[in-house]
Amino acid sequence: MRQTPVSSSAFDHAGVFLGIASIGFAMFVFGAQLPTEFDFVHIGVAGAIVLVVSGALAVAGGLTRRPAIYAAAGALLTVAALVQLIGLALSVRPLGGDASTMSVTGGLGIGLLTVGLAARSLIRTQNSDER
């Protein structure tokens, strides 16, 4: 069975998609005005700002084909998830929202970190094969 080689553009597309998803999740800051069936993620204003900034960073990294940029966006989201987790343990909500904010930022952050590191590894492997 022959494997299809993965191009780095597939990772760039994933970075853009995850960035757009991050920006989309920021819209849940307006969840109080929506019907209850759409109110499943509780995000505060600070959390929405982190999601929009990191989402824009991830989209920019994917469009410019720079995995380090969308990996940095993933690191920002992962740190935000850890801050929210510690805040929840101390009964403080630094990003607003609740544990759903932590899970959204953590999931997107880990996804972006994984995609960014995999793309960098693929580029490094391709460069060493060309030598």
**What is the band of 32 on the pLDDT scale with cuts at 50, 70, 90?**
low
What total of structural domains would you count in the chain? 1
Angle between helices 8-26 and 67-89 (to 10 degrees): 40
- Residue range 59-73: mean pLDDT, rounded: 94
Whether 123 has a pLDDT exceeding 70, the answer reads: yes
Question: Can you tell me the distance from the alpha carbon of 48 to that of 46, in angstroms, rounded to the nearest whole number?
Answer: 5
The answer to whether residue 105 is domain-embedded is: yes
The answer to whether residue 64 is domain-embedded is: yes
Whether 2 has a pLDDT exceeding 70, the answer reads: no
The answer to whether residue 36 is domain-embedded is: no
The answer to whether residue 52 is domain-embedded is: yes
The answer to whether residue 3 is domain-embedded is: no
The answer to whether residue 101 is domain-embedded is: yes
pLDDT score at 31: 61
**What is the band of 30 on the pLDDT scale with cuts at 50, 70, 90?**
confident
Structural contact between residues 120 and 12, judged by C-beta atoms closer than 8 angstroms: no
CA distances (Å), origin 69, targets 52, 117, 120, 125: 15, 11, 11, 19
The answer to whether residue 76 is domain-embedded is: yes
The answer to whether residue 116 is domain-embedded is: yes
The DSSP code sequence of 16-49 is HHHHHHHHHHHGGGGGGGS-GGG------HHHHH
pLDDT score at 1: 45
Q: Which domain holds residue 56?
A: 9-30+41-125
